[in-house]
Structure 1
Amino acid sequence: MNAAVVTSFDEPPHHLPFDVPEPDDGQTLVDVLAVGLHPRVRTGATGKHYTSSGTLPMIPGIDGVGRRPDGKLVYFVADDDVIGTMAEKAAVDRRRMVELPDHVDVARVAAAMNPAMSSWVALRRRVPIQPGQSVLVLGATGNAGAMALQVAKRLGAGRVVGAGRDVARLKTLDADQTVALGDGPDALADAAAEVDLVLDYLWGKPAAEAMMALLTARSDRSRQLDWIQLGSIAGPTIELPSVALRSANFRIQGNGQGAVSPRAYLAELPALVEEIDADRISATPRVVPLADVESAWAEPDVPGERVVLTPREPSRSS
């Protein structure tokens, strides 16, 4: 089969022949139809993700849409392995796949599931949102952050605030209020000091500054504020005064691989597929042939779009 193959962590993947994987017990060999080029995939292909084994060659890709031998369309999530999903075929654990409707837009599902999954699972499993609660999305101008605003509203948020650096992108977001991070922590506190939950895709210095600004401005510090850490675009660490945790009812936790069991993640996928299929949570795929993976890898991400690699030109259901 042909696949996107990483032969060096210092180079993008190349379109090369690769042995078809042999399914183990409990696995099914599926024909891959569409695979999203997510930030997590890029990190894994550099060997820098915390799940990386450092083994080469590897095929990147953590999820995808495919067709089983019985003809059914499925969305699937890959095991942490060197043989990922950016290939014509993938060996998939049957416990990590969910059936899709025959009419589904496979490229849209491949584009949307991964970025929407972080906030969907966070607000359903990690800190279940209560109807009417307010949510701040820190890093809302990224694809996952923009989708988190939609997810929060679909799950019952009464008010959503989006904060990000891309001022032009902020104007397009589905939020009740937006804040440009360039305006400083005080502007963020004015807009979001009373929120109940924060979905943080940034971490680093912006998150540390936002934490202190929100806690300082909060009218009742004993009212619980849940901070859910989802990404680290602005840096892998923060410097946070201990008083932040002593002077307020403030809880920090993360959501990602290991924070929620694979079974719990998989249990949430059918409902998320339904939302994406009905376009209640929207995503715009930019379909690129798998053969062009090297050039697609070098292109910068476009706000609001997600590159989807296809071993063959997809129709709406294939």
Structure 2
Amino acid sequence: MHAAVVHSFDAAPKFEKFDMPNPVNKHDVLVDVLAAGLHPRVRSQANGSHYASTGELPLIPGIDGVGRLQDGGLVYFVAPDTALGTFADKAVIDVRRSVPLPEGADPVRIAAAMNPAMSAWVALRRRAEWQPGYKVLVHGATGNSGHMAVQIAKLLGAGQVIGAGRDQQRLDALPALGAYRVVSLAGDPEAASERLGEAACEVDIVIDYLWGKPAELAMTAMLTRRSDRSRALTWIQIGSVAGPTAAVPSAALRSANFKLLGSGQGSVTPAGYLAEFPALIDAIASGSLRVNAAAYPLARVEEIWAAPAAAGERVVFVPAMHT
């Protein structure tokens, strides 16, 4: 078969021939890969920087995808925890980590949207004590996952969604996706945190894709303006675009009903993720969540890997495409 293969963590994957994988366990099956998304998580897998990396080389990147079973049925699947990922003509999947797609679902849309949408969906459904009507701040709303988070919070019944980020053009697009208000984080960090504190001090939940200094400043700015500090504020840490660490003010934990938790691989069981897949797939397939997918032949992986992605676009590799 052909696959995108990583031989060095310092170089882009190369499209080349690779031995066909074989099912080993009783729940394993071989599928034709129809579409697989180039997510940030895939890039960290391919450069060895992700916390789950084993350092094993060579590896085929790709953490999820849409595949065709031998009976012709289509499934969305999460790749097994091996060095043989989804950027290939074929992949071995554990059927227990897959769900059937509804009839008419577009494999490219599903492959593009599931990973960026899953973070906020699972955070709100599995990590937070969610109630319809809650006010939500998406901290880092201008990335793909942030745009999805705004839509998902609204879809799940949020009373208000506030989006904060640095990219003004992407911020301007958020009201059409369900944002009640947007806050620019551009410019001086202290001034940005003050703007955010004024706008978002009464939210119930923060979905944080930034972390680092912006989160550190925002916590204080929001909590000190809160009208009732005994009312719970749940801060869900998902991404760390602005830095891997943040100095959480001790006063934030003592002087307010402030809950800080994370959502990601390990904090939710595989079974928990799997249980959420069907409803999320239905939301994507039905058009309830907007997706900006760009499909490319897998043969162009080395070229596309190095090219800057268009804002808001999620690259999807399609092995069967030739042009």
1:254 aligned residue:
262
Deviation at 1:302, TM superposition (A): 1.9
Match of 1:8 in 2: 8
Task: Please name the residue that 2:123 is paired with.
Answer: 122
Aligned residue number for residue 308 of structure 1:
316
In 2, are the aligned partners of 1:141 and 1:303 still within 8 Å (CA)?
no
Q: Is 1:179 aligned with 2:192?
A: no
Q: Is the 8 A contact 2:102 2:282 kept in 1?
A: no
What residue in structure 1 maps to residue 55 of structure 2?
A: 54
Per-residue displacement from partner, 1:115-169 (whole Å, max 9, x unpaired)? 0000001111111420100000000000000100000011110000000000111
Moved over 6 A (4+): none
Residue range with higher mean Cα deviation, 154-163 or 304-313 = 304-313
Letter of the structure 2 residue corresponding to residue 4 of structure 1? A
Counterpart secondary structure, 1:253:
strand
The amino acid of 1:122's aligned partner reads A
What's the CA shift string for 1:13-47, capped at 9, x where partnerless?
00011111111221111000000000000011000
Task: Give 1:132's aligned amino acid.
Answer: G
**CA–CA distance in structure 1, aligned partners of residues 24 and 260 of structure 2:** 39
Q: Tell me if structure 2 keeps the 8 A contact 1:72–1:102.
A: no
Alpha-carbon shift at residue 190 of structure 1 (Å): 1.2
Whether the 8 Å CA contact 1:129–1:156 is kept in 2: the answer is no
Residue of structure 2 in register with 1:281 after alignment:
289
The separation in 1 between residues aligned to 2:261 and 2:81, in whole angstroms, is 23
2:232 corresponds to which residue? 224
> Structure 2: how far apart are the matches of 1:262 and 1:56?
25
- Aligned 8 A contact 1:67 1:74 in 2: yes
CA distance in 2 between partners of 1:147 and 1:28 (Å) = 31
CA contact (8 A) 2:141 2:147 kept: yes
Superposition deviation, residue 305 in structure 1: 1.1
Kindly, what percent of the aligned residue pairs are identical? 60
- CA positional deviation for 1:81: 1.5
Structure 1 counterpart SS, 2:196: helix
Gaps of 5+ in 2: none
Q: Is the 1:225–1:249 contact (alpha carbons within 8 Å) kept by the matching residues of 2?
A: yes
| TM-score, L = length of structure 2 | 0.96
Equivalent residue pairs, number: 314
Does structure 2 conserve the Cα–Cα contact (< 8 Å) formed by 1:37 and 1:309? Answer: yes
Query: C-alpha displacement at 1:103, in angstroms?
Result: 1.1
Counterpart amino acid of residue 177 in structure 1: R
C-alpha distance in structure 1 between counterparts of 2:310 and 2:211, whole Å = 22
